Amino acid sequence: MKLTDMVLRSFRVAKVFRENSDKINCLDFSPNGETVISSSDDDSIVLYDCQEGKPKGHLLPSKCSMIGAVSGQA
């Protein structure tokens, strides 16, 4: 299917995840499709249950910077 404007306008929101307070910049699904992980410009990383649409866990910004320091990315 070609993604035309008409096709894109036909899409509907299935779930809304509200734990990230800023723009989401990365999103990935678990292999079984039951969990999604997101990172956003507020420096948060959130795991969501796809069925419930509720958070399963958070990594706090201070923890994320520690992960970067350990991995050599900071």
pLDDT digits (tens, 9 = 90+) for 29-64: 999 989 988 888 888 888 999 888 889 888 766 555
- This prediction has a pTM of 0.60
The answer, yes or no, to whether residue 70 has pLDDT greater than 50, is: no
Backbone angles phi, psi at 61, to 5 degrees: -55, -40
Lookup: tokens for 62:
């201070």
12-29 average pLDDT score: 82
- H or E element in which residue 35 lies: strand 35-40
Residue 32: what pLDDT? 92
- Please state, for a pLDDT cut of 90, what percent of the chain lies above it: 4
Backbone angles phi, psi at 6, to 5 degrees: -65, -40
